[in-house]
Amino acid sequence: MNDETLRLTPNLKRFLRPLAGALLCTLVALPTFAEEKTVDSEGGGEYLEKLTGLQLHGFANMGWAYDTSTDNHRKYSRDFYLNNFDVYFNPDLGNRARFLAELVFEPDAESQQPTIDAERLQAGYVVSKYLTAWIGRFHTPLGYYVISYHHGMQLQTAVEKPRFVDFEDHYGVLPVHSNGIWLNGNFTLGEQRFALMGWVSNSDRLVTDSDGFTSLDFDMARNDNHKLAYGARLNWVAGGKLDGLQVGTTVLSEQIDYMGGGDVSYGANGGTVDNGNANQNVGQPQGNPSSNVWDNTNGNIYKNGTFSSNFLLYGLHAVYEAHGIEFLNEFYGFHNSDVLHPGPSWDSYAGFSQLAYWINGISAPFVRFERAFFNQNDPYFLSQYNGLPYTKYALGYRYNLNDSSALKLELSRTSFNAHSNTNSGQAYNDVHFDYSIRF
């Protein structure tokens, strides 16, 4: 390991200094609270809350991965890895005021340097027992998986997320972060509970990084196209004889602009992307840009790397978690159209189903099936690194060491469906061993 790998960035130093101070104060104060509760019995977050009044919690996970892909841009390939260290806190401001901040420390896959991301930064006000209003950066309330687990790797049974719901900077194709206003309401009818959410946020954009890979960006600092995204989610939590069942629906509409700096074209038989980078492999899992060329007869070409997509997402989820059974199902449909050249529109879909059985609440074998058909005539999916249609099978086993830590093993196979720009589908296998914790 060289010195460059160990070098801390100035931002990281500025954050670690107060954190180190808080930890030092904790160690000094240990005898004061020894008679009441030990740190081990109380938990780090609760102990720090007693000491400082701050509710501090978090997640971390690390492990080893191996895959047979020849794509060197994958985050984990054949390595021991540190995924991320996630810390969140929600101080009690009193008088109905709320605040939530979540910081994620994560190594950059290319530079190997630690980075800091303000994952959530939101202020809220409790209007009534039925409604809370938030403003700031928040997790987009899509479906079930995104808002139930997100960075909580210890909470989810499997090691990996479904491929298409991964984070934007991991090339997921869903807008899973937002910056705007979020209304969170709830009400009950007898034993049945309902949650209704609505939000307005900055619209997303597609950007291409220095390596020529394109992904979503949610415009945290400003709204580049001055357009807004509108979304809503309804979730039913069943009670009584149906206890453990949740069913819900989600819809999201926005205009997403591509800011790649190259040319994007589409036609009846597919499209191409050229980001002006000889190493770019947008849409190609195996790093082969030359195979991303199709017949574009009578197609349209967007010069200088710009296009605008009317993005419409609609989703359904059905979840059952009771009697040791964990059964998760989600489906998303997409109906996108071209803003600059009205007329064509494209439909796509993606979904997964995951089944696990918990043995005495300690261990669980699990299986998951994913499938996505991302229309390759649609520039929204065509331009993205993970915008190919695919099928994925995964199976694994989780063992809880205690309530706060777990060991997981997952085996998977991902195949990219054969389509018009390649002679045959491509596939690779994955093995993940993961140790995840929460506090």
Q: 240-267 pLDDT, tens per residue? A: 999 999 999 999 999 998 865 544 444 3
pLDDT at 151 over 90: no
The alpha carbon of 313 is separated from its chain's Cα centroid by a whole number of angstroms, namely 16
Please name the helix (run of DSSP H) or strand (run of DSSP E) that holds residue 42, with its range, or none.
helix 39-42
**pLDDT at residue 258 in the model:** 83
pLDDT at position 91 is: 83
* Cα 224 to Cα 175, 177, 256, 260, distances in angstroms: 16, 16, 10, 14
Residue 10 pLDDT exceeds 90: no
Position with higher pLDDT, 111 vs 272: 111
Q: Which of 26-35, 130-139, 151-160, 371-380 comes out lowest in average pLDDT?
A: 26-35
- Predicted local confidence at residue 418, as pLDDT: 58
More confident residue, 345 or 23: 345
Q: What is the pLDDT of residue 109?
A: 65
Residue-wise pLDDT for 323-350, tens only, equals 999 999 999 999 999 888 778 899 999 9
What is the per-residue pLDDT across 402-413, written as a single tens digit (0 to 9) for each? 999 999 999 999
pLDDT, position 77: 65
Backbone dihedral angles phi then psi of residue 326, each to the nearest 5 degrees:
-120, 110
CA nearest neighbour of 113 among 209, 14, 211, 5:
5
Query: Looking at residue 279, what is its pLDDT?
Result: 31
Least trusted range by pLDDT, from 106-110, 149-153, 304-308, 377-381: 304-308
User: For residue 74, what pLDDT is reported?
Assistant: 59
* pLDDT value of residue 425: 56
In the chain, what percentage of residues exceed pLDDT 70?
A: 72
Annotation: CATH topology of 55-438:
Porin (2.40.160)
Which residue bears the tokens 């904790």? 26
Phi, psi dihedral angles at 316 (to 5 degrees): -135, 140
Task: Using pLDDT thresholds of 50, 70 and 90, give the confidence band for residue 157.
Answer: very high
Q: Is the pLDDT of residue 306 over 90?
A: no
Q: With H, G, I as helix, E, B as strand and everything else as coil, classify residue 254.
A: strand
Could you read off the pLDDT of 355-372 as tens digits, one per residue?
A: 999 999 999 999 999 999
pLDDT at 154: 93
Share of the chain above pLDDT 90, in %: 53
Backbone conformation region of residue 343, classed left if phi is above 0, alpha if psi is from -120 to 50, else beta: left
Lowest mean pLDDT among 38-42, 81-85, 350-354: 38-42
pLDDT of residue 50: 53
Q: Please report the pLDDT score of residue 219 as a whole number.
A: 77
Residue 75's pLDDT band (cuts 50, 70, 90): low
pLDDT band at 281 (very low <50, low <70, confident <90, very high): very low
Span of 4-13, 16-25, 280-289, 310-319 with lowest mean pLDDT: 280-289
Residue ranges matching CATH 2.40.160.10 in the chain: 55-438
Average pLDDT of the segment spanning 280-307 = 38
Q: What is the pLDDT of residue 438?
A: 95
Residue environment code for 121-145, b if the CB has 16+ CB neighbours within 10 A, otherwise e? bbebeeeeeeebebebbbbbbbbbb
Q: How confident is the model at residue 39 (pLDDT cuts 50, 70, 90)?
A: very low
* Poorest-pLDDT segment among 74-78, 135-139, 202-206, 240-244: 74-78
CA atoms within 13 A on the CB side of 219: 21
In this predicted structure, the answer to whether residue 192 has a pLDDT above a threshold of 60 is yes
If you average pLDDT over residues 310-328, what whole number do you get?
97
Per this entry, what is the length of the chain?
A: 439
19-23, 62-66, 180-184: least confidently modelled range: 19-23
The mean predicted confidence, pLDDT, of the chain is 79
Residue 237, CA distances (Å) to 198, 248, 276 in order: 18, 9, 49
139 pLDDT band, cuts 50/70/90, is very high
Separation CA 438–CA 138 (nearest Å):
20
Q: What pLDDT, on a 0 to 100 scale, did the predictor assign at position 296?
A: 36
